[in-house]
Structure 1
Amino acid sequence: MQTGTPQPTPPQLSEILFKNLKVRSIGPAVMGGRVSDIAIDSRNPFVFYVGLATGGLFKSGDNGVSFDPIFDKEAVQSIGAIAVAPSDSDVVWVGTGEANDRNSSEWGNGVYRSTDGGGTWQQAGLKDSRTIARIVVHPAKPEVAYVAASGHLWADGGERGLYKTTDAGKTWKLVLQAQGAAAARTGCGDVVLDPSNPEIIYATLYARQRTPWSFTYGVTATGGADVGGVFKSTDGGASWRKLSGGLPGQTGRIGLAISLSNPRVVMAVVQSDEGGASDINDIHSRRGGVFRSEDGGEKWARTSSINPRSFYFSQIRIDPANDQRVYVLGYALLASDDGGKNFREDLSEKVHPDCHALAIQPGSAPAPKAPKPEDKNKPPKPPFSQRLILGTDGGVYQSFAAGKGWDHLNKIPAGEYYRISLDDTRPFYRIAGGLQDNENWVGPSGTQTKEGIRNSDWTALAGGDGFYVLFDPADRDTFYAESQGGEVHRINLRNGEMRGLRPQPAEGQPSYRFHWNSPLIASRHKPGVIYLAGNRVFRLTDRAEHYTLISPDLTYNDPARTTATGSGAENFGVIYSLVESPVRPGMLWAGSDDGRLWVTANEGGNWTELTANLPEP
């Protein structure tokens, strides 16, 4: 009997094989990631801090020329709020857990405090707050702080409401919370101190909860109890009263701002479902919007219906030098020069959309100009603060012209990749993948130039949020990339051709459901075959021009969980994981987000459910 040459035994993977491998940054560095908060050191404005939704905390000591990560050794990397103590800028407070309530928002483990400008950190309590929307520090006492704890996004309970510490976080007192059963889902959404009297505090209560198939807020989250709104204390949080005087009811998320130059002016951007809710693309509210009080919150006037996508934004700022200049953050940065009556978005040119954080440097307004002869009897118009630092889904921007001439400070490695894939190009293989709200990209693992990998070595492959990217096996310039909701497209980098290829049912047939991040895989056994998963599995061929359904609906298709509207992030009853056997052609495994597991051995000819064989969770 003739035998073949014995095959060498592959080495066992062990720690020693990876010991000398070093992580290196290869890009792309043309974008940042989602920014959640920004804080400027009031004593040295060259110093500022940037908090990221999932990437930790960065500090610049040179006006944004460079940034250093200062939170990497801590247990969590999701930042919700930053505050620099006004009386001692070495004292920095950080609240962990992003407060923007996306499905992708990560949670935190409470409050951290540094007494050396972020060099070292101490955990300072509220470990079960999960999400912190704002921290404000007493102007003269760096050990006194208020924390707006939004609480668990996905579950009841935990530490929720407005907390106060007078001993640098050793102990905390819950000074404002919802009453009754509604407290389990209601937290504090924002808090501001009166700059002329720190005993005067304004805060908001906000109820919300997510499931994989829904997002509820306000009275819907609390079973009808209207517990949200704006509250005021005049005794350092010892007692509170709910403000009305023109504010609507049935509120959701509310953002607050108080004027530094005129503390009687308080403003709020208010989500309200009185009169009905608004579509995701409608930046106007029927009864909510921008409200302004000029008497410390006693009476409020609705100045504008502007209120973009409340759960994701709800941020408002008043220029510290001029209470007529007001900013509302949303898909764009909206600016008003008449106290919030009219807004424009011309300051958002060349700025990445989805604005979450804005820091304005006090004292950066120029001196008033001498009036013209014809205006000598008119009071001079107060100038605007010139230095703004803006945080978006695309990173950090800085302006020294009151929102004009933005400089993109793309020096923080904060891109948020959902998925990556590799090819076998030589001598340097390529990496392709998609990022949160920053498209799909492809770039090399190395170059033969002395500069190494540069931004110019990376190429955008289009998309909104980016996810899976596949390489065409026959044409190195062709890629199959994906955006949210199964939006697959083919792009050719040689000629610029791009074609949308998402499967669509015939008119009158049930619609297909796709996950936010739908599985898209290339067959390793049949070059040119691509599998895409929604609630069913699709086989794409001929450069994805044609598709065949190769499965029935593999989910439970619960009608109570498959009707959410919006961005598609709440799409449920879909296949979340799809893999092809590396050794057996035609064998596919599919797992759904509602807990079903399937396998086919003949490329979808028939499917066997294995759910009953899974262990109990």
Structure 2
Amino acid sequence: GAGGGGLWKTVNGGLTWSALFTREGSYSVGDLALDPTNSEVVWLGSGEANMRNSVSFGNGVYKSVDGGKTWKHLGLANTLHIARVLVNPLATDTAWVCAVGRQAGPSEDRGVFMTTDGGATWRKTLYLDNQHGCSDLDVDPKNPNVLYAALWKFERKPWTHTSGSEQGGIWKSIDGGRTWTKSSKGLPKLLGRLGVKVAPSRPSVVYITAESFEGTLYRSDDAAENWRETTRNREVVSRGFYYSDLRVDPTDENRVYAVASNLLVSIDAGKTWRNIVGGTHIDYHSLWIDPTNPSRMWQGQDGGIAVTYDRGNTWEPVTNIPLGQFYQIHADQRLPFYHVTGGLQDNGTWSGPSRTREPAGILNDDFTMVSFGDGFHVVSHPDNPDLFVSESQGGSIMLTNMRTREQQMVSPQPKNDWVQNLKYRFNWNTPIVPSPHGKTTLYFGSNFLFQSRDFGKSWEPISPDLTTNNPEKLKPAGGPVWLDNSTAENNNTIISVGESPAAAGVIWVGTDDGNLQLSADGGKTWNNLAKNVPGVPAFAPVSHVEPSRTGRDTAYVSFDAHLLDDYRPLIFKTTDAGKNWTRLTAGLPDTAYVHIVREDPKNARLLYAGTELGLYASWNGGEQWQP
């Protein structure tokens, strides 16, 4: 299961894959569980639980009794993010669900839920309050009356996140998950995200990984009566809110795997660690160990999946499954077949043909990496499609000539530092937008708007700070345990830019803190129009601005407020340069928050909306939308 790519199945060890779960109410998989007595019975908890700001939500629990061909929705729709699903190995109509719950606001639909009738009904059995969700859950395989759960306080906003509290921690049940008791002897008081695993070969041994100021791995030898710290190695957890996961070898209680930025193994109960990445990738989120042959393991990370048959000494990457996540794409005009270039999550920027005359079709080898890092916006030169301006996270912009393989950094601010110390702030996903009125003119957004007239070789600011410039939103993200500065929470930045195709110098800008700016004179003066748009939450990010080709005063704008706990679709149109706006959301689902709205280049009445729930189109100028 993929956090943003649905469910896949292989019956031949990964040689071929079939896409399952393609017509249900979610495409985001949080966790899977197979019935231990019947592998045709699959339980699926929807909604990824690794709580990045780009995480996708789900709508509860699903079950298949025919190997994934068909599915039945079993409820818990409001849990949104499910970290773990477990099935009782001795009574398979009993299952438990560990739900993180809403990402950006309070909710009662979080904690541990239990069913004893195959999912027909559910009962919430572990609940602390509307701010603490469940980050992990495990069961004693020899005595499924014994379970362990980790409760975690987490909340995200566009500019920061909160991870941890003194109220969270580890709970234990000895009656099959019906009642729970907190287990804290030997653990720190302040804890962030926790992972918990039972040693299958010796269930009295239990491990937890911990986002804490003290230890990062703890072990209990008496079924969670007492805990002792085994290491303070930060690499075991890496980034608390994003990882904090582990596995225990099914035959050796002292062999522990840390699933984090790197994949690590310890053979001495966590005292010392060895990296077993083997060059596969980075950022690990899943590890399956064959319970009958622990030398065979499958790993899942930001680059895909890989398999080992020798306990991680060597790995075989599996490259025949389409799980890449594109932030942005760009099409050039080369002949006979245009190329598509796109920036991928943690996999750089790649370019390749849309068609080919080769009998085998388009192959992986037909695509070429343009630049490294997380990939985002990219544009190619209209007269030289092998010349690219691309970027990685936080405004690291590159000029690349694919013919000569020359590459140079061309950011107007190459310095890296805490965002509050920088003059120019760049978003994780910074817009690079070509002008419709000049082949070599580009726009690049920070908190200022930059313009280049020589296709990225040089840049000049053409605006003042167009954001709210709120210093409270420029502080390091995270806490009260660990801080985080990956640029993913950079705020008070420009996230959308568009110049009117109908009039040069009419430039629209949207920011991640709710400003909607318009210049009618090429950037000399600006007018903030945000207050004119009705029914939008304060400081809601302007996810896209789309100037219409039908007139200089006509534009569309979308807002994405889901990190303010508002999932509504928000699309508006103006025909008077932003003085008045009409909402255009009829037909869109209530939780289909909008990433982008586009006007068709040939038919101005045809609009497209890219939402979290898929692509929608309107054939009547936005009056009604259809999937």
Q: Give the distance between the partners of 1:78 and 1:332, measured in 2 at CA.
A: 23
1:512 and 2:452 equivalent?
Answer: no
Q: Give the distance between the partners of 1:468 and 1:176, measured in 2 at CA.
A: 43
Which residue, 155, 159, 162 being the options, matches 2:105?
155
Q: Give the distance between the partners of 2:271 and 2:522, measured in 1 at CA.
A: 60
Distance 1:422 1:299, change over 3 A: same
Displacement of 1:515 in angstroms is 1.2
Displacement of 1:452 in angstroms is 1.8
In structure 1, the partner of 2:523 is 604
1:267 and 2:207 equivalent?
Answer: yes
Question: Structure 2 stretches of 5 or more lacking a match?
Answer: 478-484, 537-627
Equivalent pair of 1:573/1:593 in contact (CA under 8 Å): yes
Which residue, 264, 278, 284 being the options, matches 1:355?
284
Supply the AA of the counterpart residue of 1:246.
G
Equivalent pair of 2:278/2:312 in contact (CA under 8 Å): no
Q: Give the distance between the partners of 1:577 and 1:564, measured in 2 at CA.
A: 23
Per-residue deviation, residues 195-248 of structure 1 (Å, max 9, x unmatched): 1111011111111000111100222xxxxxx22111111111232221122111
1:323 and 2:250 equivalent?
Answer: no
Equivalent pair of 1:88/1:142 in contact (CA under 8 Å): no
Q: Which has the higher strand share?
A: 2
In structure 1, the partner of 2:135 is 189
Per-residue deviation, residues 356-384 of structure 1 (Å, max 9, x unmatched): 000000111xxxxxxxxxxxxxxxxxxxx
1:407-446, aligned counterparts within 5 Å? 407-446=316-355
Displacement of 1:473 in angstroms is 3.1
In structure 1, the partner of 2:381 is 472
Supply the AA of the counterpart residue of 1:110.
G
In structure 2, the partner of 1:340 is 270
Displacement of 1:102 in angstroms is 0.4
Partner SS state of residue 327, structure 2:
strand
In structure 1, the partner of 2:178 is 238
In structure 1, the partner of 2:192 is 252
Distance 1:476 1:238, change over 3 A: closer
In structure 1, the partner of 2:217 is 290
Query: With CA pairs under 8 Å and 6+ residues apart, which has the higher RCO, 1 or 2?
Result: 1
Supply the AA of the counterpart residue of 2:20.
I
Supply the AA of the counterpart residue of 1:496.
R
Q: Give the distance between the partners of 1:527 and 1:350, measured in 2 at CA.
A: 40
1:308 and 2:238 equivalent?
Answer: yes
Equivalent pair of 1:87/1:141 in contact (CA under 8 Å): no
Partner SS state of residue 78, structure 2:
coil
Per-residue deviation, residues 334-374 of structure 1 (Å, max 9, x unmatched): 011111110010x212211000000000111xxxxxxxxxx
Q: Which piece of structure 1 moves more, 121-130 or 585-594?
A: 585-594
1:209 and 2:121 equivalent?
Answer: no
Q: Give the distance between the partners of 1:288 and 1:259, measured in 2 at CA.
A: 19
TM-score (norm 2): 0.81
Supply the AA of the counterpart residue of 2:81.
T
In structure 2, the partner of 1:449 is 358
Which residue, 146, 149, 153 being the options, matches 2:96?
146
Partner SS state of residue 230, structure 2:
strand
Which residue, 104, 107, 113 being the options, matches 2:57?
107
In structure 2, the partner of 1:280 is none
Displacement of 1:599 in angstroms is 1.6
Per-residue deviation, residues 394-441 of structure 1 (Å, max 9, x unmatched): 111111111122111122211110111111101111111101111001
Partner SS state of residue 146, structure 2:
strand
Supply the AA of the counterpart residue of 1:330.
A
Q: Give the distance between the partners of 2:196 and 2:527, measured in 1 at CA.
A: 55
RMSD: 1.6
Partner SS state of residue 365, structure 2:
helix
Per-residue deviation, residues 276-304 of structure 1 (Å, max 9, x unmatched): xxxxxxxxxx4031111111112222111
Equivalent pair of 1:355/1:393 in contact (CA under 8 Å): yes
Q: Give the distance between the partners of 1:616 and 1:232, measured in 2 at CA.
A: 45
Which residue, 563, 571, 575 being the options, matches 2:475?
563
Displacement of 1:505 in angstroms is 9.0
Partner SS state of residue 456, structure 1:
helix
1:73 and 2:13 equivalent?
Answer: no
1:127 and 2:77 equivalent?
Answer: yes
Equivalent pair of 2:90/2:144 in contact (CA under 8 Å): no
Equivalent pair of 2:172/2:183 in contact (CA under 8 Å): yes
